[in-house]
Chains A and B, each alone.
Chain A
Amino acid sequence: MRRRTVALIAMLIALHLALLFAGFIAPYDSTAQNRQIPYAPPTRLHFHDDAGWHPRPFIYPMTVGPDGYVEDKNRSFSLYFLVRGSSYKLLGLFQTNWHLFGVDDPGRIALLGTDGFGRDEFSRVLLGGQISVAAGIAATLIALLVGTVTGVLAGFYGRWVDESLMAGTELFLSLPWLYFLLGVRAFLPLHLSPVATFFLLTGVIGLIGWARPARLVRGIVLSVRTRNSVLAARGFGGSDFYLMCRHILPEVFGVLLTQAALLIPRYIAAEVTLSFFGLGVNEPVSSWGNMLSVLQQYSVLVSYGWLLAPVAALFVTSVIYALLADTLHSRLEFLST
């Protein structure tokens, strides 16, 4: 393994660990409001005051001055690691209230500022990332699952099975997918619980996206089907199901992996887009998309630039996945030649 690949995989793992343990890393709950500090700018960490240097960073609380927020230098709150705060479920299983860092009450630390309800943007980006990235991965799994099944069936049986399934892929490929996604979403209930919305959203995105993986898989199956090893296995009396599982699917695996790396960021972006339009995960639960929807008002965008944080997060995620897809693609080509 080259050093670049190792670094890439390390970044990928770090990203997902950060999202997996978002509840621990985030100092606050994503829905915890603080109406006293709406649109507060990012809190600055200080190491130095009149008394000199301190090894432990501290913050000053925000107060409203004549020109917006200023730091109130009369009081300060030290930053502590491993503190007890609001309770949450770690990994969705263990009830706990430990957080990676925090400040004593009544201090509030907002590393990326706060939104219009005074909710901590940093916590919301992390916890919203859980939803957005999970939606992308789940939708990809659905698309790949449906695509693989149809692709293998079409390639393996050929004839009318192939023709009807491929006509289906042509239909889905010629759909204007974003319009269609809007349409489908329009036909489904608008106000649902966040969990139901999440499953609806991933289901819809995944089911619209099955066509392209299906075509790729079918192409591979067509070439694998006539290999001597497969013919021999059939000659020995292997059933269709056995042939598909034992001889065809392993060949498809590499392409599926590359497709997954390509599709996950695209479907994360799809979730972000739909939630941006107000058709995805609803408030108060955060997702990168619904956090961005306030930016449709230009005045918010101009004055409170830190609310673009989800854009940066989405950017980083997409680039990491794109690099992964690139690496996978070139390694597979290397293996197949």
Chain B
Amino acid sequence: MNYFGRRLVRALLLLAGVSVLCFLFTEMAPGSFFDEMRLNPQISPETIAALRSHYGLDQPLPVRYLRWVKSVARADLGYSIAYNTPVAPLLWERAKNTLLLTGVGMGVTWLVSVPLGVWIGTRRDRLLDKVVSLGSSLFISIPEVVIGLALLAIVVHWRILPVGGMHSADSDSLSNWLRLKDTFQRLLLPATVLVLVESCVIVRHVRASVIEALQLPSIEAARAFGISNARLLFRHVLPVAASPAISLFGFSLAGLISGSLLVEVICGWPGLGPLILEATLSRDFYLVIGGIMLSGLFMVAGNLIADVMLLATDPRIRVEAADAP
């Protein structure tokens, strides 16, 4: 089997492992969705037992797992008890919003941080480098919850932007253009938090790998041959420095679903995060598992894509992959 095939099989095994872990944990859980009904004297124990068997909660673990696998094959991803529908459409409805937020965030992050990292890497120890390096090492150490709440406090206190949700209350009466503008304004705060959190890491790595590449003997030689600075940078330095950035790009893709949970909750963005949080609090297991699996799918797929891209760009990995049994 070739390299790609092996990685793909491995990725699928990982996903299967995640799902098994999830189910093992549900088995350990003492409570269930219907626990609150038990406190209600108007609902008889028989009704609850009937509901449990209706949703298959009284079955042993392997049976439940197999049923769930079957429902994954039908692209239902299980059945949400709280919403009384299959999980997949619920997830998809919210995942679109999450992907809008993280997609914008990721795009801006990469458009800003790669040029910035290259720029300060080639102008090491100048003022801009020092400022950006210091700023990024400060921001890297601040937890996301601090950045999120602090920015939210600033924005809300001075009424800079509307926050909460995706649309204003009167959005139906607005023209398309105004509605778009409104959504964009509400997107700005959570996206900024995401960009701040992620770009520090990328800027630092890009800077470090550019500096490392600039010190290679081959670059020295190319410079001695009189190759112009621009050509040196784009033709010789950047291809060498690309590998860590590509791995990070994979991580970014991997976090498209799971990276914004906290920001969504803080800013009230109606993405997957608040949905899963609610499901967690009401113990709607299949919805929670669906959320974990969807974000796990992105994690695995992101890493797989990074592997493939590295294979295409880095000759060393091609050699390794060919040598491996």
Contact = CB atoms under 8 A, between A and B. Distances in A.
Interface size class on chain B is: 35 or more
Contact of A295 (B149, B257, B279, B295): B149
Interface stretch (B54-62, B219-227, B231-239, B296-304): B296-304
User: A265, A277, A318: which has the most chain B beta carbons within 10 Å?
Assistant: A277
Interface in B274-299: 276-277, 279-281, 283, 285, 288-289, 291-292, 295-296, 298-299
Contacts of B17: 171
B177 interface: no
Contact of A188 (B29, B140, B141, B164): B29
Contacts of A284: none
Shortest 7 CB-CB distances between A and B: which pairs?
Answer: A322-B141, A176-B258, A269-B143, A187-B29, A176-B295, A186-B280, A187-B25
B262 interface: yes
Interface of A: 170-171, 174-180, 182-190, 265-266, 268-269, 272-273, 276-279, 292, 295-296, 298, 301-302, 305, 308, 311, 314-315, 318-319, 321-323, 326
B149 A292 contact: yes
Interface of B: 10, 14, 17-18, 21-22, 25-26, 28-31, 137-138, 140-146, 149-150, 152-153, 156-157, 163-164, 255, 257-258, 261-262, 265-266, 276-277, 279-281, 283, 285, 288-289, 291-292, 295-296, 298-300, 303
Nearest to A180: B292
A330 to B, nearest CB: 12
Contact of A174 (B14, B138, B285): B14
Contact of B145 (A185, A189, A273): A273
B146 A179 contact: no
Contact of B144 (A177, A186, A269, A295): A269
Contacts of A186: 29, 279-281, 283, 285, 288
A209 to B, nearest CB: 15
6 contacts: A174-B300, A176-B257, A183-B288, A186-B280, A186-B281, A311-B146
A29 B280 CA distance: 32
Given A278-B281, A301-B153, 10 more contacts: A174-B14, A175-B292, A180-B292, A182-B277, A185-B280, A265-B141, A276-B265, A277-B265, A298-B163, A315-B143
Given A305-B157, A314-B143, A175 B283 contact: no
B285 A187 contact: yes
A308 to B, nearest CB: 6
Interface centre among A185, A292, A298, A305 (most CB of B within 10 A): A298
Contact of A319 (B142, B152, B153, B300): B142
Nearest to B284: A186
B261 A179 contact: yes
Nearest to B157: A302
B288 A182 contact: yes
A277 B299 CA distance: 23
Contacts of A190: 31, 281, 283
B13 to A, nearest CB: 8
Contacts of B288: 182-183, 186
Contacts of A295: 149, 153
Given A183-B288, A273-B262, A321 B141 contact: yes
Contacts of A185: 280
A301 B258 CA distance: 26
A138 to B, nearest CB: 18
Contacts of B276: 179, 182
Contacts of A272: 143, 145
Contacts of A175: 18, 21, 292, 296, 299
Nearest to B280: A186
A265 B25 contact: no
A179 B292 contact: yes
B152 A174 contact: no
B289 A183 contact: yes
A308 B285 CA distance: 33
B145 A182 contact: no
A170 B281 CA distance: 29
